[in-house]
Amino acid sequence: MPLAKSSFLKKRAKGLVWVASILFSVALVVVPVYLLVKYSVSDSGSINTGGAPIPLWPYAPTLRSFTYLFTESQFYGVIVNSIIIALATVFCSMLLGVPAAYVLGRYRVPFRRTMLLGLISVRLFPDISSVIPITEFFIRFGLQNSYLGAVLGHTLLALPYVIFIGMSAFESIPSDLEQQAQVMGAGGFTIFFKILLPLSIPGLIAAAIYTFLLSWDEFIFSYFLLGLGKISTLTLFLRQKLAYAPPQNLLAAISVFISVPVIAFSLALQKYMTAGYTSGSVK
């Protein structure tokens, strides 16, 4: 009897450790995010408490930081810049990346591995190392402080990802489908637009969203290629504010503003990636 009791206790203790470690790790992830949101809706009294402990929920929660941001005329321009650069980056990297991904995913290309390594090799350099030469190069050709320069830089960062995600999207389509269409009389263009493209759309959308987000929250290349010049993006705006030690609730508000689309789309992206869209076509 006592033996049974002790094993029961042991089991209980194990369960407790288990639940505690789950709670601990969840807290580790969630609490910082919660605090960020909390700061973004804090009133100034909840930040400068004059020695009293900073409250876990603001005394007087307010959206004033956000409304303040939108009264600042510069902020609109910054958002528009970020969106323009991100969309242009998506356009450029899809334009270059999708055809490349198509070739790599569908054909038996000679020296495929070597080619892939060659394509990503420029990304093996640390960003901070590759950005210096590129900035120097852009200065020489008048591309620094221009939308084009930023877009070219971001495209460089995103292109390998587009190629990889797109490649696996094209690869996952069974070649039977393509050949079936061919036997039925479809030419190359019909096969591409009627069969391959519709089936790879989820993967390509994922690649496009990924590219958009990459550009949206990119900092290093923007910082060097745009400097703190007249074209500013959201991340540069945040960094600029950081340098002048502004109210913390304002910093948190900008941070939240940058993060929301990223987190939202990341969840959607996860869904897209795992969708078993081709299941059922081939047994």
Partner 1 sequence: MLRAWFNRQGKTIKQIWPLLPAAAYLLGFLVIVCAYLIGLTFSTETSPGHFLFPSMHTLSTIFTGKQFSKALINTVAFVLVGTPLEIVSGFFLAIILYNSFKFRSIIRGLFLIPLALPALVTATLLFILFDFPGGHINHLLMGKYAVFPQVISHPIDWRGSRFFALGISLLGKAWRDAPISMLILLSGLNAIDPEILDAAKTMGAGLRRRIWHVILPLMIPSLSAVLLLRSIEMWKEFIFPFILAGKYGLLGTLIESLYNDWGNSNQAAAVALILVLCIVFSTLLFLWVMEILKKKVLKV
Partner 2 sequence: MSAVVLNNICKRLGTNQVINGLSLDVKDGEFVTLLGPSGCGKTTLLRMIAGLEEIDKGDLYIGDKRCNDIPSQNRNLAMVFQSYALFPHMTVADNIRFGLKINKTPPDVIQKKLTWALDMFSLAGLEKRLPRNISGGQRQRVALARALVLEPNVLLLDEPLSNLDTALRELAMEELKRIHHQVGKTVIYVTHNQVEAMTMSERIAVLNSGVCEQYDTPRMVYDMPRTLFAAAFIGSPAMNFFDGTVIIREEDAGVDTPLGFIRIDKDRFGLAQKFVGKFVRVGIRPQNIAYVEHRESKRYSDTTVTVEVELVETLGDRSLVISRGNQDTKLRFLIARDITLQIGQKLDMFLDGRRILLFDQETTLNIFSEPKI
User: Is 83 among the residues that bind partner 1 (CB under 8 A)?
Assistant: no
Quote the crossing angle between the two packed helices 147-171 and 197-216, to the nearest 10°. 140
Residue 208 burial (CB count, 10 A)? 22
The residues with which 282 forms a beta bridge, in sequence order, are: 279
With CB under 8 A as the contact rule, the residue among 45, 174, 229, 246 that binds partner 2 is: 174
Comparing C-alpha atoms, which of 84, 47, 34, 39 is closest to residue 66? 39
Here's the x/- map for partner 1, 161-190, by CB under 8 A: it reads as: --x---------------------------
171 binds, among partner 1, partner 2, none (CB under 5 to 8 A by kind): none
DSSP H helix total and E strand total for the chain: 12, 0
How far is residue 155's CA from residue 56's CA, in Å, rounded to a whole number?
42
* Window 91 to 110, contacts with partner 1 (CB under 8 A): 96-97, 99-100, 102-104, 107, 109-110
The residues with which 216 forms a beta bridge, in sequence order, are: none
Comparing C-alpha atoms, which of 108, 89, 277 is closest to residue 196? 277
Here's the x/- map for partner 2, 178-197, by CB under 8 A: it reads as: -xxxxxxxxx--x---xx--
* Window 197 to 226, contacts with partner 2 (CB under 8 A): 198-199
Here's the x/- map for partner 2, 122-161, by CB under 8 A: it reads as: ----------------------------------------
User: Is 49 among the residues that bind partner 1 (CB under 8 A)?
Assistant: yes
User: Is 119 among the residues that bind partner 2 (CB under 8 A)?
Assistant: no
Given the rule CB under 8 A, which of 164-172, 176-184, 219-227, 234-242 is the region that contacts partner 2? 176-184
Task: Please work out the total of residues on this chain that contact partner 1, with binding judged by CB under 8 A.
Answer: 71
Q: Which residue has the tokens 């991904």?
A: 101
The CA R_g of the chain, rounded to the nearest whole Å, is 25
